[in-house]
Amino acid sequence: MLELTGRKVVLREFTAEHLNDPKYFAWLRDLETVLPIYRIEYLLPLTFDALRAYVDSLWKSGRDAFFAIHEKESDRFIGTQRVGHIDWRSGIGDLGILIG
């Protein structure tokens, strides 16, 4: 499993364990969490099945990397990071970070 360790956080591959963590779904339903990432549509009716389909599409895309952010000291799951729309030839992509 890929793991990137920094001074305060550890990035790990986002797994089914993260997807099924109730905190993750709750973060996507919280205005204070989704407002800074401009994803207000998450506050519209969102089913867990739709969320699972979105995560599945990231896992299968070949152009996205999806990580769980863990606090290094406590190993607590605190957010996600996505590198999306990766253009492997030019080495660019966009970055999205959600802290719950």
Task: Residues 3-99: name the CATH superfamily.
Answer: Gcn5-related N-acetyltransferase (GNAT) (3.40.630.30)
Q: How far apart are CA 63 and CA 78, in angstroms?
A: 24
Q: How far apart are CA 11 and CA 68, in angstroms?
A: 6
- 13-39 pLDDT, tens digit per residue, is 999 999 999 999 999 888 888 877 777
Residue with tokens 């996600």: 80
R_g of the chain computed on alpha carbons: 14
Q: What is the DSSP letter of 72?
A: T
Domain boundaries, the chain: 3-99
pLDDT score of 34: 80
- 46-79 pLDDT, tens digit per residue, is 889 999 999 999 999 999 999 999 999 999 999 9
CB of 64 closer than 8 Å to CB of 85: yes
Amino acid at 98: L
Q: How far apart are CA 97 and CA 14, in angstroms?
A: 13
Size of the chain, expressed as the number of residues it contains: 100
